[in-house]
Structure 1
Amino acid sequence: MGISYEFKRAYSILFRVFYEKVHIEPILTSLESPFGKKSIQRITDITYGVSRHNLFLEELIKKLSKIEFRKIEKEILIILKIALYQLILNPVRPEYAIIDEAVEFTKTIGKENSSRFVNAILRKILKKPQIKKEIYSFGPPEEKLSIKYSHPLFLVEKWIKDFGKKRAEEILEENQKIPKVDILVNIKKISLKEMKDVLLKNKIVAEETDLSPAGLKIVKGNIKDLPKEVKNNFYVMDISAQSFSYLFSLFKGNAFSDLASAPGGKSLCIRLFYKFKIHISSDLFISRLIKVKKNFENFGEDIKILIQSILKPSFKEGIFDRILLDAPCSGTGVLRKNPEAKWRLNKNFFYEYKRKQKELLASALDLLCQGGLLLYITCSLEKEENEEVIFELKEELGNFEIFKEYNMKIPILNYLEPSGFIRIFPQDELDGMTGVILRKK
Structure 2
Amino acid sequence: MYEAQRLQQATEVITSYKFEQPFIQHLKAFFKANKKLGSRDRRQLSELVYDYYRVGLAVPTDDITNRICIGHFLRNTIDTFFSSYISTLYPTITSEEFGLSISEKEKLIQKVYPDFSLQNIFPSEIEFSKHSDKDIQNQSILTPSITWIRAKQKHLDEIIVELNNAEIEFKQSEQSKFAIGFQKKTDFSKLKSFDNGFFEIQDLSSQLCVNKMSVIDEHYWWDVCSGSGGKALLIMDQVNDIHMTLSDNRKSILRNLEKRFKKAKIEADVIFELDATNKDDINALNQEFDRIMVDVPCTGSGTWVRNPEQILAFDKSILEEHNKNQKIILKNALTKLKKGGELYYMTCSVFKAENEDVLDAIGGSFKVKAEEMIDCTSNRGDNLFISIISHI
8 Å contact kept, 2:19–2:313: no
Alignment of 1:334 with 2:298, yes or no, is: no
Alignment of 1:112-131 (within 5 A): 123-126=88-91
Kept after mapping to 1: 8 A contact 2:372/2:387: yes
Could you say if the C-alpha distance between residues 422 and 252 of structure 1 is closer, same or farther in structure 2, counting changes exceeding 3 Å?
A: farther
What are the superposed Cα offsets for residues 312-344 of structure 1, whole Å, 9 maximum, x if unpaired?
237435422221110111222222111112223
8 A contact 1:376–1:436 mirrored in 2: yes
Which residue does the alignment assign to 2:373? 423
Q: Of the two, which has the highest radius of gyration?
A: 1
Report how far residue 168 of structure 1 moved. 2.7
1:153 aligns to what SS in structure 2?
A: coil
Aligned match for 2:118, one of 126, 145, 148: 145
**Partner residue of 2:353?**
384
Match of 1:111 in 2: none
Counterpart of 1:133 in structure 2: which amino acid?
Answer: K
Shift of 1:12: 3.5
- Change in 2 beyond 3 A, CA 1:92/1:252: same
Report the structure, 1 or 2, having the larger helix content.
1
Alignment of 1:63-74 (within 5 A): none
Distance 2:9 2:187 in 1: 20
Q: CA 1:427–1:79 in 2, change beyond 3 Å: closer, same or farther?
A: closer
Q: Residues 385 and 55 of structure 1: is their aligned pair in 2 closer, same or farther, counting only changes over 3 Å?
A: closer
Pair 1:438–1:276, CA change in 2 (3 A) = farther
Partner of 2:102: none
Paired residues for 1:77-96 under 5 Å: 77-78=63-64, 81-82=67-68, 92-93=80-81
2:153 partner letter: I
- Deviation, 1:215, is 1.7
Q: 1:333 is matched by which residue type in structure 2?
A: G
- Counterparts in 2 of 1:244 and 1:265: CA distance versus 1, 3 Å: same
Question: What is the rounded CA distance, in whole Å, between the counterparts of 2:171 and 2:89 in structure 1?
Answer: 45
Say whether 1:170 aligns with 2:133: no
TM-score normalised over the length of structure 2: 0.81
Question: How far apart, CA to CA, are the structure 2 residues paired with 1:203 and 1:226?
Answer: 15
Q: In 1, distance between residues paired with 2:139 and 2:74?
A: 18
One-letter code aligned to 2:149: I
CA deviation vs aligned residue, 1:29-75 (integer Å, no higher than 9, x gap): 5653523433332232122121102445x44xx5xxxxxxxxxxx7x
Please state whether the residue corresponding to 1:421 is helix, strand or coil: strand
User: What one-letter code is carried by the residue in structure 1 that aligns with 2:23?
Assistant: I
Where in structure 2 are the equivalents of 1:312-331 lying within 5 Å?
Answer: 312-313=281-282, 315-331=284-300
* 1:315 and 1:367 in contact (8 A); partners too: no
CA deviation after TM superposition for structure 1 residue 92, in Å: 3.2
Residue equivalent to 1:212: 176
Measured after TM superposition, the shift of residue 289 of structure 1 is 1.0
Cα gap change, 1:124/1:229 in structure 2, threshold over 3 Å: closer, same or farther? closer
The whole-number CA distance in structure 1 between the counterparts of 2:93 and 2:294 is: 52
Match of 1:250 among 215, 218, 223: 215
Is it true that 1:437 corresponds to 2:388 in the alignment? yes
Match of residue 136, structure 1, among 105, 110, 115: 110
Per the alignment, in what secondary structure is the counterpart of residue 392 of structure 1? coil
Supply the RMSD in Å over aligned alpha carbons. Answer: 3.5
Within 2, Cα distance between the matches of 1:86 and 1:392? 43
The question of 1:224 aligning with 2:177 is answered no
Aligned length: 371
Give, as a single letter, the amino acid of the residue that structure 1 aligns with 2:343.
L
Q: Which residue of 2 aligns with 1:203?
A: 167
CA contact (8 A) 1:282 1:307 kept: yes
Structure 2 contact 106–116 (Cα < 8 Å) conserved: no
2:242 maps to 1:291: no
Q: 1:196 touches 1:206 (CA, 8 Å); kept in 2?
A: no
Give me the whole-angstrom Cα distance separating, in 2, the residues matched to 1:423 and 1:202: 36
Q: Which runs of 5+ in 1 are unaligned?
A: 63-73, 100-121, 404-419
Distance 1:358 1:282 in 2: 18
| Distance change (3 Å), C-alpha of 1:399 and 1:27 | farther
Q: CA deviation at 1:426?
A: 4.4
User: Residue 298 of structure 1 aligns to which amino acid in structure 2?
Assistant: K
After TM superposition, list the pairs within 5 Å mapping 1:296-311 onto structure 2. 296-303=261-268, 304-310=270-276, 311=278
- Bigger shift: residues 86-95 or 24-33: 86-95
Q: Indicate the percent of aligned positions where both proteins have the same amino acid.
A: 21
Tell me the CA shift for residue 22 of structure 1.
Answer: 4.2
